[in-house]
Homo-oligomer: A and B are copies of this chain.
Amino acid sequence: MVSIKDVARRAGVSIGTVSNVVNRPSLVSESTRERVRAAIRELGYVRSETARQLRAGQSRVIALLVLDMTNPFFVDVAHGAEREAREQGLGVMFCNSDQDPEEEAAYLSLFAEQRVRGVLITPATEGDAALAVLSGFSRHGIPHVLVDRLVPADRACSVSVDDVTGGSLAAAHLFGLGHRRIGYVTGPLRMAQCADRLRGARAAAAEAGLDEDAVRVEERGALTVAEGRAAAHALLSGAAQAWPTAVFCANDLLALGVLQVMVERGVRVPDDMAIVGYDDIEFAAAAAVPLSSVRQPARLIGRTAARLLIEETDPATAPEHHHQRVVYEPELVVRRSTSG
């Protein structure tokens, strides 16, 4: 591998001069500069980020650790973060904890060893456990921004969407269409997102003058298409009169699974069963019965999270940085699955 030394030798100058040509060319005379540049070109020299890092103490890579990289929502978040990072000349490591605290921990130590610039994370754990993860970060001095999760602003920045409002938008829409009994198909309720959307839905029920039974909860272990299918079978297990007339799903993967089963079983959507999803992933609109869904600005979330992290870790802007909570508003997108 060609190093700065080889370039210096070839150009007949000192190492320091080569470094200046690369980093502060104005300090070097025209003729020397050209000679060094020629040497760089001829040798195909690429400066070692590793070595600069060692000296600078800061790397140019940020990590993004999500719960499920196969969920298009998180892919969009990643896409947004990547854009912002690229504009600042940084790279992004997009990683997947699969909701497994052990995987998460393994990645965190990888990140710590790599001395990444910082981490964008959707923690696999909740409450105290999540705080423990954060204090792990703080202990190692790794700056971090929480994505899709609130956290006390004295600890770190966070970027999220108001899930209570989102749940309320979805449920109010269904109640407004005349539905009186709806199902709520969700992942683990210990996940804040799932719990908050339920709170919103219940608030909407109260608002509509209905009691708590108006929202029947079907809790599953994960937010996937397969679990959505299982949930749909569960919802349709009793007598038809007892079925809800609409379903609100905690994300679009669940909703697609539910939709699929409804179609298979000849339950007409939206006539017999209206469906609302969450996230508004691309495949929601592309489903053969296009899904109504609560849109979250995924790309923007990623972009903002990356921006906050960069602000926090760029020596130029860090002094003015204060932790903040950014909360975006969700938006209901009505499609045929609720408005046949």
A residues sitting closer than 8 Å to B (CB atoms) are 1, 44, 46-51, 53-54, 57, 59-61, 69-70, 72, 75-76, 78-79, 82, 86, 91-96, 103, 106-107, 109-110, 112-115, 139-141, 225, 256-257, 259-260, 263, 282-283, 285-290
Contact = CB atoms under 8 A, between A and B. Distances in A.
Contacts of A113: 46-49
Contacts of A107: 91
A123 to B, nearest CB: 19
A115 B61 CA distance: 13
A38 to B, nearest CB: 17
Given A61-B93, A114-B61, A260 B282 contact: no
Contacts of A290: 260
Nearest to A111: B91
B91 A94 contact: no
A73 to B, nearest CB: 11
Given A79-B69, A82-B95, A112-B46, A263 B288 contact: yes
Contacts of A78: 69, 94
B140 A44 contact: yes
A84 to B, nearest CB: 13
Nearest to A56: B50
B44 A54 contact: no
Contacts of A96: 79, 82
19 contacts: A1-B57, A1-B141, A48-B115, A49-B113, A49-B115, A50-B54, A50-B115, A60-B114, A69-B79, A69-B82, A70-B72, A70-B79, A82-B96, A91-B95, A93-B94, A259-B288, A260-B288, A263-B289, A288-B289
A61 B63 CA distance: 12
A139 B260 CA distance: 51
A211 to B, nearest CB: 33
A283 B260 contact: no
A69 B75 contact: yes
A45 to B, nearest CB: 10
Contacts of A86: 103, 106
Contacts of A76: 70
Contacts of A72: 70, 72
A225 B288 CA distance: 12
Q: Pick the most buried of A72, A75, A109, A140: most chain B CB atoms within 10 A of its CB.
A: A75
A137 to B, nearest CB: 12
Contacts of A106: 86
A335 to B, nearest CB: 11
Closest 3 CB pairs of A and B: A288-B288, A49-B113, A94-B94
